A and B are shown apart, each in its own frame.
Chain A
Amino acid sequence: MKLLKLVPDNTNIGFVAMRKWAFALTALLTVLAVGATAYKGLNMGVDFVGGLMIEAKFPQAVETDKVRSVIGGLNVGESSLQQFGDPKTVQIRLPLPEQGGAGAANAVVEKTRLAMEQQFPGVTFSRYDTVSGKVSGELVQTGVLAVMLAVIGIAIFSWFRYEWQFGVSTFVAIMHDVLMTLGFFAVTQLEFDLNIVAAVLTIVGYSINDKMVIDDRIRENMRKYRKMDMKSLIDLSVNETLPRTVMTSVTILLALGALLLFGGHVLRGFTAAMMLGVVVGTYSSIYVSSSLLISLGLTPAASEKRAAKKSYAGNAERVGPRDDGARP
């Protein structure tokens, strides 16, 4: 049987030669992403801004305008409505009543429920969330803290494990991934809630996984080919790991694609974020973190000094010219 190979053997793409263009494109996209986030803002869910979110399921398709007019007559504050998943489901966002605490939020839900049941018999509230301003503030704080800690923790890990250049390049690449994800949410105005923070953290985890594999290979090749110049060495490493990079991205995209199409509407934003993250993370492994190593001045000599100091000589038997093409 002929096995599928997404990347042909002995592929040799000159990634490093293209790095100037790639850096320019990356910088442009990142600036656009940050600009979009700053200008359009994120469509924050109730998790992060506080308020009341009701997901109403109707027996048949409804027009959001009709629902809006029903809620508008209730005097419960300014509502924002959105079709959610399918035409039968509408998500209603309301501000929390300023006074009266828990009971007041209850009253708003009940009032809305009564009015809706009268207008649209058979409607059910399949879920609703109320989050007070205080809690949502804390959720924002811990969310930002979690992402920052993850990025910094991982950068420190790869700095200790390898040279500082790896730490810096990893940090820059992951920040790029996070910013691109934020930009994606700003442009699409998909709801940004707690689940998306989990998605961002997973993107960070996935992206670092990808970079570790390439970094590890760069390290290995630095020990193996001491005389090779850095550009060819990085090209060689990226190309050697390319089949794995592509295979893994495709398998994960397959799994996520199943989740996006069949996993139900609640997880849709989460899955979309993840899929984008996989693409962006893979791109940044090749173009941001690896190519950045050259600009940061990583040389085999620097690595050797450190390796010798740590008596991490590696596999002596592997040091030597590459015996490509030889067959037993």
Chain B
Amino acid sequence: MLNFSRWAVAAILLPLVIGVLCAVPTFLPEATVAHLPRFMQTRVNLGLDLAGGSHLLLEASTQDVAKQRLTNMEEQVRTELRRQDPRIAIGDISSRDGKLSFMVRDPAQVDAAVERIRPLTQGAGLTGQRDFNVEVVNSSTIVVTPTDAGIANAVKSAMEVATEVIRKRIDEMGTREPTIQQQGDNRIVVQVPGLQDPKALKDLLGQTAKLEFKLVDTTANPAEVAQGRAPVGSEVLPYPGNPSGVPLIAVRRQVMVSGEDLTDATQGFDQNNQAIVNIRFNGSGGRKFGQVTSQNVNKPFAIILDGKVLSAPNINEPILGGSAQVSGSFTVESANQLAIALRSGKLPVALTVVEERTVGPGLGADSIRAGLIASIIAVVAVAAFMFVSYGRFGVYANIAVAINVAVILGVMGMLGATLTLPGIAGFVLTIGTAVDANVLIYERIREERRRGRGVVQAIEFGYKEASRTIFEANVTHAIAGGIMLALGSGPVKGFAIVLLIGIATSVFTAVTFTRLLVARWVRTHRPTEIHI
């Protein structure tokens, strides 16, 4: 047991050397690390609580997605039944309780209607289910019900698009190294380190950025509009900046041009030096915009963002060039934000911030300093205690702990793990528990010596018997750590990562590595008595 072959020695030392080397880049300046080859760039990332920054958890409403899908379906059904010959007349359309139902006026056409609607549905999932079920009830009413698989599919694709849109928006803001990940079915985690002002970020993420241009309904009776009623074919929308004082306005339901036809959006200034957003349409959007504006000269149109009217300027002359200005009571900052949001596309679903954690860079730096000081004091105190308790063997344990700390950092660097404040606590705790393995071994050696075993035999027995206990104890400890990693969020996870890596590496350094040190000493000195 105390004899190590050359190969065994190499096999023990090599991973330790690699581990320690991987820890080095963490302590080098970032610029230096960037010059190193790819496999050497094993830096430990600092968590937001240490680096400062914002963590946002955004949630999409699945109900919204379902509702929107139903509205789209209604639109599709209408056009489909109207489009072809023979035209099928329907009535009594309702989309209550999450399903769409309507009556076919001519009972003879019911089957034909079903035949035409069926192709509008699509396969969903692997079970051969469709995304909508089409049924006939009461012989003349057709009910279109979304299936669960269909809704799940729709949410999934909406979330994929939303994640992409958010990534674009944050990239446009020019922040460095953001993390954007989908979590669960309908959530997105956004982590932006080193951000000074998360307000701008949240404002940006909160915008759906659905931009529409609609004509203002000038025929509407202002008194009725003030009460929220609009003529047929029009709707009342909020208009916070309405010069007439009433924060409402009636606009035509029909969309002139929508944000989908945008190709570019930039912040600029108008002739009065007010902040505006310059937009540019693609070919078809430009044509549509030109056409409507030429037909409606001297009438106002509304610029609508996320269901709210920003402004309702007058069409003084036809706008033909395919570009336009969006005005409203913007500041330079808010105009710039809108431009970013418009450029990155509209969010398919509204997102709300359900959790936010922001740490200022000052506190992060304080935490790092405090954590570092605490770790150093902990190491010194534990090392001194081990030395006065076990002498030479205590020194071996201390070397093992020192290497262990470096190896944990190295492994974290290799895995690209993140060090958080609770992670530092995990470190300090690992220092405490790592020596536990050595304490177990050394106490066992003391015991075996007291029972009269010789030096070599006592050491062999100490390592052998204690190893089993250490293994058992660490398995159970790892169970707790694994559960923390699986279920924990944020701080708990950061702690669990360090704990688990620490358990794995400490068994290796505290048992195998110290045995190597002890064996070398015993072989070269052949002691007949040991101080332990």
Q: Which of A3, A110, A274 contacts B390 (CB 8 A)?
A: A3
Q: Which of B353, B452, B468 contacts A328 (CB 8 A)?
A: B452
Is there contact, CB below 8 Å, between A157 and B491?
no
Is there contact, CB below 8 Å, between A256 and B475?
no
15 chain-A/chain-B pairs, Cβ below 8 angstroms: A9-B446, A55-B363, A103-B203, A127-B360, A128-B358, A142-B489, A153-B479, A154-B480, A157-B475, A201-B480, A202-B495, A208-B473, A209-B474, A254-B381, A266-B49
Is there contact, CB below 8 Å, between A9 and B450?
yes
CB contacts (< 8 Å) of A229 on chain B: these are none
B418 at the interface (CB under 8 A from A): no
CB contacts (< 8 Å) of A153 on chain B: these are 479-480, 483
Within 8 A of B (CB), among A140-173: 142, 145-146, 149-150, 153-154, 157-158, 161
CB contacts (< 8 Å) of A63 on chain B: these are none
CA distance A197 to B432 in the complex (A): 20
A298 at the interface (CB under 8 A from B): no
Segment with Cβ contacts to A, from B89-97, B131-139, B366-374: B366-374
Is there contact, CB below 8 Å, between B452 and A326?
yes
Q: Which of B358, B472, B483 contacts A212 (CB 8 A)?
A: B472
Would you give the shortest CB distance from A152 to chain B, in whole angstroms? 10
Is there contact, CB below 8 Å, between A212 and B431?
no
Segment with Cβ contacts to A, from B102-110, B151-159, B341-349, B436-444: B436-444
Is there contact, CB below 8 Å, between B436 and A209?
yes
With A132-B355, A205-B481 known, 4 other A-B pairs at CB within 8 A are: A124-B362, A135-B354, A198-B422, A256-B432
- A202/B429 contact (C-beta < 8 A), A262-B373, A266-B367 known: yes
CB contacts (< 8 Å) of A142 on chain B: these are 487-489
Within 8 A of A (CB), among B379-394: 381-382, 385-386, 388-391
B290 at the interface (CB under 8 A from A): no
Is there contact, CB below 8 Å, between A212 and B476?
yes
A302 at the interface (CB under 8 A from B): no
- A255/B382 contact (C-beta < 8 A), A154-B480, A212-B473 known: yes
Is there contact, CB below 8 Å, between A324 and B473?
no
CA distance A102 to B59 in the complex (A): 11
CB contacts (< 8 Å) of B374 on chain A: these are 258-259, 261-264
Within 8 A of B (CB), among A237-285: 240-241, 243-244, 247-248, 250-252, 254-259, 261-264, 266-267, 270-271, 274
List the A residue with the shortest CB-CB distance to B495: A198
- A102/B202 contact (C-beta < 8 A), A153-B483, A198-B492 known: yes
A316 at the interface (CB under 8 A from B): no
Q: What interface size band does chain A fall in?
A: 35 or more
Task: Sort A-B residue pairs by CB-CB distance and give the 4 closest, nearest first.
Answer: A264-B370, A102-B353, A326-B452, A205-B480
B83 at the interface (CB under 8 A from A): no
CB contacts (< 8 Å) of B377 on chain A: these are 258, 261-262
Would you give the shortest CB distance from A274 to chain B, in whole angstroms? 7
Contact with B along A114-129 (1 / 0, CB 8 A): 0000000000111111
Q: Which of A55, A194, A243 contacts B489 (CB 8 A)?
A: A194
List the A residue with the shortest CB-CB distance to B430: A255
Would you give the shortest CB distance from B4 to chain A, in whole angstroms? 23
B435 at the interface (CB under 8 A from A): yes
Within 8 A of B (CB), among A39-57: 55, 57
CB contacts (< 8 Å) of B472 on chain A: these are 161, 212, 216
Is there contact, CB below 8 Å, between A252 and B385?
no
Residues on B facing A (Cβ under 8 Å): 49, 57, 59, 199, 202-203, 206, 352-360, 362-363, 366-367, 370-371, 373-375, 377-378, 381-382, 385-386, 388-391, 421-422, 424-425, 428-429, 431-433, 435-436, 439-440, 443, 446-447, 450-454, 465, 468-469, 472-477, 479-481, 483-484, 487-492, 495-496, 499, 531-532
CA distance A109 to B472 in the complex (A): 50
CB contacts (< 8 Å) of B371 on chain A: these are 263-264, 267
- A254/B451 contact (C-beta < 8 A), A213-B473, A244-B443, A247-B443 known: no
Is there contact, CB below 8 Å, between A251 and B435?
yes
Would you give the shortest CB distance from B489 to chain A, in whole angstroms? 7
CA distance A150 to B447 in the complex (A): 33
CB contacts (< 8 Å) of A130 on chain B: these are 353, 355-356
CB contacts (< 8 Å) of B447 on chain A: these are 240
CB contacts (< 8 Å) of A125 on chain B: these are 360
Is there contact, CB below 8 Å, between B450 and A325?
yes
CA distance A216 to B466 in the complex (A): 10
List the B residue with the shortest CB-CB distance to A144: B487
Is there contact, CB below 8 Å, between B367 and A270?
no
A5 at the interface (CB under 8 A from B): yes
Q: Which of B451, B490, B532 contacts A194 (CB 8 A)?
A: B490
A310 at the interface (CB under 8 A from B): no
- A110/B199 contact (C-beta < 8 A), A198-B484, A259-B428 known: yes
CA distance A154 to B532 in the complex (A): 33
CB contacts (< 8 Å) of A325 on chain B: these are 450, 452
Is there contact, CB below 8 Å, between A3 and B477?
no
CA distance A131 to B353 in the complex (A): 9
Taking each of B375, B483, B532, which has the highest tally of chain A beta carbons within 10 Å of its own beta carbon? Answer: B483
Q: Which of A213, A248, A271, A328 contacts B425 (CB 8 A)?
A: A271
CA distance A172 to B172 in the complex (A): 56
Is there contact, CB below 8 Å, between A3 and B389?
yes
Q: Which of A126, A213, A251, A252 contacts B386 (CB 8 A)?
A: A251
CB contacts (< 8 Å) of A132 on chain B: these are 353-355
